[in-house]
Amino acid sequence: MSNPLADMEKPDVIFAIGTNMTECHPVAATRLKRALKRGAKMIVADPRRIGLADLADLYLPIRVGSDVALLLAMAHVIQREGLVDPEFLADRTKESETFLEHVKQFPPEWAEQITGVPAKDIETAALWYGRADKGAIYYTLGITEHICGVDNVQSLGNLALMTGHVGREGTGINPMRGQNNIQGAGDSGALPNNYAGFQPVTDPENQKKFERLYGRKTDLEKGPTKVTALEMAGDQIRAMIIDGENTVVSDPDRHHCERALKALDHLIVIDLFMTETAQLADVVLPAAAWGETDGVQTNTERRVQRIRRAVDPPGLAKPDWWIICEIAKRLGFQGFDYPSAREVFNELCSVSPIYFGLDWDRIDRGEYQWPVPEQGHPGTPRLHEREFVSGRGLFRVIEYRDPAETISDDFPVWLTTGRRLASYHTRTQTGRSAGIDYLLPEETLEVHPDDVAAWGLSDGGWAEMSSPRGCVTIKVRATRRSPRGTVFASFAFNDTPVNVLTGGGYDPVTHTAELKVCPVRVVPA
Amino acid sequence: MIATEKDLKTHTMMLDGEAVSFTEGETIYEVAQRVKTDIPTLCYDQRLEAFGGCRLCVVEVEGQRLPVASCTTKATPGMVVRTSTATLEKHRKTLLEMVASENREIDVDPLRGYAAQELATLVDRYDARGGRFRGKRSGATREDDDNPFILRDYDLCISCYRCVRVCAEQEGDHAISVMNRGFETQITVEFEGLLKDSACTFCGQCVQTCPTGALADKKALRFAELPGAIEKTRTICAYCGVGCSVDVLTKGDTMVGIQPAMDGPANHGALCVKGQFAYDFVQHPDRLKTPLVRGDDGKLHEADWDTALDRAAEGLRRVVDQHGRHAVYAVASGRAPSEAAYAVQKLMRAGWGTNHIDNCSRA
Ligand code: SF4
Ligand code: SF4
Ligand code: FES
């Protein structure tokens, strides 16, 4: 997030798009609710009438995968009505002229055809956001899990730039991170393109720096993303180490993923449970869980916080970092002799410009948000206050594209996937917590009541849902949260493996799978 | 709200004979808290709008005939306040005796919730046990609500409305409401039904603010009989990216519950159902306890660390020998601590000089 969580209570206009916040980030949602109570207005754009939509002053029911069209038309209105912030454009951005010219082609009437949202509502949304003193954007995977995920994010960036809604309290472009330490994993350099602290591997200076630190030269070329690596499995890629991820259930196109992992000569899985992925491994190594190990995790507002051990791990289980270092030592690699997590973290701080001013003791109370470039620096709750990381904010010229697969006679229904409040990811954790079943005993397919009738289904009955990649049987639930022609399910339950169906396309830049859009056929089972 | 030094010097008032400075808008109670003057409260929760219902926090203000509730009365310049006089203490004791006499139990298990001991502590401090009104009870316990998380033991309710207010103000859920008035007051949900059928999200906030244990953590109470003192370990929630601070409650080596950290920088005491209640995966019998290695029979077999780590390393060495250093790929976890991610990427880069590393954010 560009802005701290505390800022969520401050905007005048909230624009939440592709985020089911009340279910996926409930505590963050409580802050938005406080802003609403204070009188803030909220615009919610989502294909489904989610909980947040019930709280919205303006709800835009967009067709799945049509975000870019909506955002282009909003930019059009903001431009046409002269709501751009000229000073901000002149001082802090580049290529605004090209962009402002570009958006002239996309009036709300054009977007209505694509998004299904009435032009006058698009107009209103643009006026509210454009006229706001403090406008803030919040989004999650509903924006990124598309073939045009990068386009979506950049379209949001364009809106914020043209109105100057960045770098101030209660504004910003704020993606909400889904996993407890997904931010920290990227910060730590577990990325194919960056060393720790987002230092590009393609920069020869960084290569030299890390050669000095690690005693070995690392390739100047980016590595393949996980998605590409899975495609290369059994061919160029012959061995994998997977730490704490149930790849088989969480990734799109499950059959493909299973085949890929089976094609490896050697698979090492480090996990808490015998997951579907661990079952395919040659070596399974038991990790200490949350509550059993000391360490650091970084939240969605870049706050670096300590986690602490409260109980001993069961049996022989060990912290992940220990397991990895032991493997490294057995391969004869140098620099893996750490007495405890503290030393690992302190080394990370010493090589990372964004953590450089931090160390294990300094983050004891969790008051720092990175970047913390030197000791004594107070941290950076709000990014881009005076300058963007890259200097000036760059406008991107973006065109609308259809999703990888669109509905057809064979697959006439849009399936979109997501998560639910009471379950987390593939349920390896929530599924083993007493009582959670009481709230969420099984997966259901959410279908509009009129579609239930029209397709010959029954509420509580079974349906067969298929895509070009597979077929699942799933119980039907009639609900007006789904619009007509679009159905919803989560991928939490292994016995309803919805990701058998998904995976029609990937964003060409980030290789994020288009989990939010998948044309399917739904018939009574 | 952080007031600067300069602001704090703007106004002055007298508190128990001492001159104290305050900022505009602060209540007498907030000023007293800040200068560490203890005033007893029951219906107060620092995260909520002051309510002024219990009257325990009353103080004397010079020039005013009747004592005022310090939690709702704003400090004004020159005000002269006494927080503890014989009259006030007597009033507080009588109030507590009345409240205590309506409850079946004062000494509740601390596992009931974060604030569950508040009433017992005050009753002891004011020696207010065994008041004159013993026997009568307010509220009716909902034994029929079979939800696995929240015990609704309204026999112990003292109508402080903290649960109602936390639900409305902190969570914005408005699941709980109040029925009737006075002695008949009853905390309830829409249509007097089960929590499951209401707007309740089982975030547990009402449980954690209840000062009597009338709303209680059913999951934690499973361990009420387990011997041993309760210890708290401050950590961060294991689920989403908000990063809520929590205390893990343990007895010996058993995790018995979770309580929100009221001073957590990301959550200020708020939690959701996962962070509050979905922790027992940690000590679930399904946990992997030993390393496993695939044998010639194609099955996974238990092994000691040396055997398993040797096998892990050997397999990697073989692949690199045959197919080169680019034949190995690693996926770091978005769930494990940063040290794990750092170690994995270092293994790939310092070990084989490749960028064959990613994390699971793309799925
Ligand atoms: S249930 Fe607890 S928090 Fe709610 S009004 Fe009664 S005593 Fe107060
Ligand atoms: S308590 Fe809920 S909102 Fe907070 S970090 Fe955990 S999962 Fe996220
Ligand atoms: S705490 Fe002030 S009236 Fe209850």
Cβ distance A236 to B323 less than 8 Å, yes or no, reads yes
Strands A199-200 and A194-195, by their bridges, are: antiparallel
**pLDDT for residue A429:** 75
Those residues with Cβ within 8 angstroms of residue A9's Cβ, 6 or more apart along the chain or in another chain: A31, A32, A34, A35, A38, A170
Please give the angle made by the CA atoms of A286, A226 and B243, to the nearest 5 degrees: 60
Q: What is the CATH number of domain B94-283?
A: 3.30.70.20
Decide: helix, strand or coil at residue A324: helix
**pLDDT for residue A255:** 82
Is the confidence at residue B133, as pLDDT, over 70? no
**pLDDT for residue A419:** 82
Q: What are the angstrom distances between the C-alpha of B271 and each of A25, B56, B75, B259?
A: 10, 28, 32, 9
The region, left, alpha or beta by phi > 0 then psi within -120 to 50, assigned to residue A409 is: alpha
Q: pLDDT tens digits, residue range B252-285?
A: 999 999 999 999 999 999 999 999 999 989 999 9
**pLDDT for residue B4:** 45
Q: Are the beta carbons of A379 and A369 closer than 8 angstroms?
A: yes
Confidence of residue B1 (pLDDT cuts 50, 70, 90): very low
> How would you class B5 by CB atoms within 10 Å of its CB: exposed for 0-12, middle for 13-18, buried for 19 or more?
exposed
**pLDDT for residue B222:** 94
**B246 has which bridge partners?**
B235, B260
**pLDDT for residue B190:** 56
**pLDDT for residue A515:** 83
**pLDDT for residue A462:** 95
- How many whole angstroms from its chain centre is CA B217? 11
**pLDDT for residue B362:** 47
Q: Which residues of B68-97 are buried (b: 16+ CB within 10 A; e: fewer)?
A: bbbbbbebeeebebbbeeeebeeebbebbb
From chain A residues 456-485, the ones with a CB under 8 A of any chain B CB are none
Q: Is the peptide bond before A371 cis (omega within 30 degrees of 0)?
A: yes
Residue of B nearest to A265 (CA): B319
Give the closest residue to A424 by CA, choosing from B305, B275, B252.
B275
From chain B residues 159-188, the ones with a CB under 8 A of any chain A CB are 170-172
Confidence of residue B131 (pLDDT cuts 50, 70, 90): low
Which residue ranges of chain A lie beneath pLDDT 70? 423-426
Mean pLDDT confidence for B44-61: 92
Decide: helix, strand or coil at residue A196: coil
What is the rounded CA–CA span in Å between residue A181 and residue A357? 20
**pLDDT for residue A193:** 95
Q: Which domains does chain A have, with CATH numbers?
A: 5-176 (3.40.228.10), 182-351 (3.40.50.740), 413-524 (2.40.40.20)
Is the confidence at residue B287, as pLDDT, over 70? yes
**pLDDT for residue B3:** 42
**pLDDT for residue A297:** 96
Cα B116 to averaged position of ligand 1 atoms, centre (Å): 10
- How many whole angstroms from its chain centre is CA A76? 27
With pLDDT > 70 as the criterion, what percentage of chain B qualifies? 88
Mean pLDDT confidence for B71-83: 95
Give the closest residue to B128 by CA, choosing from B89, B87, B94, B83.
B94
Q: Are the beta carbons of A503 and A253 closer than 8 angstroms?
A: yes
Higher-confidence residue of B43 and A502: namely B43
Min Cα separation A179/chain B (Å):
4
- From chain B, pick out residues whose CB is under 8 angstroms from the CB of A268: 312, 315-316
The pLDDT mean for chain B works out to: 89
Give the closest residue to A17 by CA, choosing from A42, A54, A36, A34.
A42
Indicate the domain borders of chain B: 10-84, 94-283, 292-359
What is the rounded CA–CA span in Å between residue A102 and residue A117? 21
Cα B241 to averaged position of ligand 2 atoms, centre (Å): 7
The closest ligand to the CA of B54 turns out to be 3
In ligand 2, the atom with minimum distance to the C-alpha of A26 is 3
Q: Which residues of A315-326 are buried (b: 16+ CB within 10 A; e: fewer)?
A: ebbbbbbbbbbb
Q: Out of B33, B54, B95, B159, give the residue to mutate to test ligand 3, the one with the largest number of ligand atoms within 8 Å of its CB.
A: B54
Give the closest residue to A181 by CA, choosing from B239, B268, B342, B246.
B239
Hey, is the C-beta of A263 within 8 angstroms of any chain B C-beta?
A: no
ipTM for this model: 0.89
Supply the DSSP symbol for A305: E
Min Cα separation B151/chain A (Å):
13
Confidence of residue B62 (pLDDT cuts 50, 70, 90): very high
Q: What is the CATH number of domain B10-84?
A: 3.10.20.740
Cα B20 to averaged position of ligand 3 atoms, centre (Å): 22
Higher-confidence residue of A435 and B80: namely B80
Q: What are phi and psi of B331, to 5 degrees?
A: -120, 120
What is the rounded CA–CA span in Å between residue B132 and residue B98? 7
Hey, is the C-beta of B262 within 8 angstroms of any chain A C-beta?
A: no
**pLDDT for residue B162:** 93
Residue closest via CA to ligand 1's atom 6 equals B157
Length of chain B measured in residues: 363
Q: Are the beta carbons of A48 and A483 closer than 8 angstroms?
A: yes
